[in-house]
Chain A
């Protein structure tokens, strides 16, 4: 059996399905439902077995269309950085507010992706977010929580 990354993913999925199946069996159902033809754990149990079946097949059957990925050509650094910025953005958006965090997220992301045209970067962050906020909050009446703008009295 040829071991490649697709097989490793299938193995991980197999383990995940086994864990899912174990957890499905642990679902607490009402006593009167225990022997019912269908209860809260029935469908997940079938899914667990289906996961084991398909990932098991993928593991044991030969893989004629092996996907080879050249990891050296992949841009892990920038991708990781962008994910980190997105996590920080997600962590601060509620406390600081939509306008400031989103504008900063866009500005910093442009910078890390290699952009250096400062005026364009600014225009496509702060004024752009303000216009988008106006569209959502002002025109479409979609509530946007923004403690920062509320504290300076811009938003009601």
Chain B
């Protein structure tokens, strides 16, 4: 492991990679602050830039964008009560009241330090957990992988949003259907191409991400007459107050951060859960463990109430890298985008990644530390100024998002058909968004589609067409049992809420 850490440090500490982390964090922070534009959009917009880099640098840039976006989301939660990303909704519960009391600077500082500590601690957990899990996952067989993918897709659908399970499952199926277009990987038989040569190689992952996130989010903003930047114009530098944290507040944070980081990391590791659930759980748990006196302050500007979700959502970001790096199966929409980009670089993530491409595996983990330090440096003194930069009107923001989307496809294929297809998918996605059909399950399914078919193929061929492979191995059966539990729990909750 020491050797791996050294390889990672050598790669991550090159001038180019440090610069990329900085660019990623800065860009991610700005996008994350804009309500409605989350880390997936930020990462999608960065894809064209990463074409010019080696896989490690490309992924380091995207990881920087990811942390930055989650970090940036907390800033708009605190200053504007408008969470940039769902993972920072819980931050606004105590962050915004604190800002209203004239302690916005202090709230930002608490959020920044908590995020830093949560991210750093979880990177340490990842450092120890990822190699061990990689070794364990070497024993995984095709049926286990197939079951794991079913679990991941079911979990992301179940956790996507309240009462949207069926909609999310429809999006999962749509994602898998889109992934099935093109040549069959084994027999080279073309499917669903309708004799269109442009579809022979299938639909590009970048195209689907750009269409369903960047482009459709831009169209949704115009369609709904939202202006994600209007609130930012209200931010005044004079209202921020001091960023100093006193001893009493520090003592509270020392207790909150370790427990919230563990919750955040473990929730992040689970497929489909992610930063949103992690932050809410950490907030809820913190409220239960503090004294009655402190409990009264929750929702009115509590230090614990702000520190807990901020620690947990950053810890969950690092946690979500575990299934992606060790199993090659992303646990969230954001890591699905990264996995797709990694496959685009010709790198196959999975249990052998840390043996075949140790520089990628370890440099991502090492760059997390660097990213956290950079975010801290960036957020504390610069956030008020970044908030002002955000007062860019949507008249400029929307065309720029569309421009980045089209550029991403243009430099990838130099093909008009792909641009039309992207616009077509974006229009459909915009319409589906209007009626709360979630997009992350679609992306995760699209990325996993090929792998899922491959593992089902192997499993069915080995079992001579029998579906007994689903319960032949204890591990497969356990994973499937977990999937069934999630579905049953979801049905129970739906009926309970209805009654």
Residues of A within 8 A of B (CB): 5-6, 9-10, 13, 17, 20, 23-24, 27-30, 33, 36-44, 47, 50-51, 54-55, 57-58, 61, 64-65, 67, 69, 73-76, 78-79, 82-83, 86-87, 89-91, 93-94, 98, 102, 105-106, 109-110, 113-115, 120, 124, 129, 132, 135-136, 139-145
Q: How far is the CA of A143 from the CA of B186 in the complex (A)?
A: 32
A6 with B435, Cβ < 8 A, contacts A38-B457, A38-B465, A109-B402 known: yes
Q: Could you tell me if B410 and A93 are in contact, using CB atoms closer than 8 angstroms?
A: yes
A89 with B170, Cβ < 8 A, contacts A9-B435, A28-B189, A38-B456 known: no
Residues of B within 8 A of A (CB): 48-49, 51-53, 162-164, 166-167, 169-170, 173-174, 176-177, 180, 184, 186-187, 189, 191-192, 219, 222-225, 393-396, 398-400, 402-403, 406-407, 410-411, 414-416, 419-420, 423, 427, 430, 432, 434-437, 452-453, 456-457, 460-461, 463-465, 497-498
Closest 4 A/B residue pairs (Cβ): A140-B52, A37-B465, A90-B419, A109-B399
A74 with B170, Cβ < 8 A, contacts A38-B457, A64-B163, A113-B395 known: no
The B interface is mostly helix, strand or loop, or mixed, namely helix
The interface residues of chain A lying within 8 Å CB-to-CB of B419 are 86, 89-90, 93
Q: Could you tell me if B167 and A47 are in contact, using CB atoms closer than 8 angstroms?
A: no
Q: How far is the CA of A28 from the CA of B452 in the complex (A)?
A: 21
The interface residues of chain A lying within 8 Å CB-to-CB of B219 are 79, 82-83
Which residue of chain B is the closest to A55 with respect to CB atoms? B170
A105 with B399, Cβ < 8 A, contacts A54-B169, A75-B223 known: yes
CB distance from B466 to the nearest CB of A (A): 8
The interface residues of chain B lying within 8 Å CB-to-CB of A129 are 403
Q: Could you tell me if B225 and A30 are in contact, using CB atoms closer than 8 angstroms?
A: no
CB distance from B437 to the nearest CB of A (A): 7
Which residue of chain B is the closest to A71 with respect to CB atoms? B434
A51 with B170, Cβ < 8 A, contacts A38-B457, A64-B498 known: yes
Q: How far is the CA of A141 from the CA of B176 in the complex (A)?
A: 34
Contact of B170 among A58, A113, A139 (CB under 8 A): A58
Contact of A113 among B167, B173, B187, B398 (CB under 8 A): B398
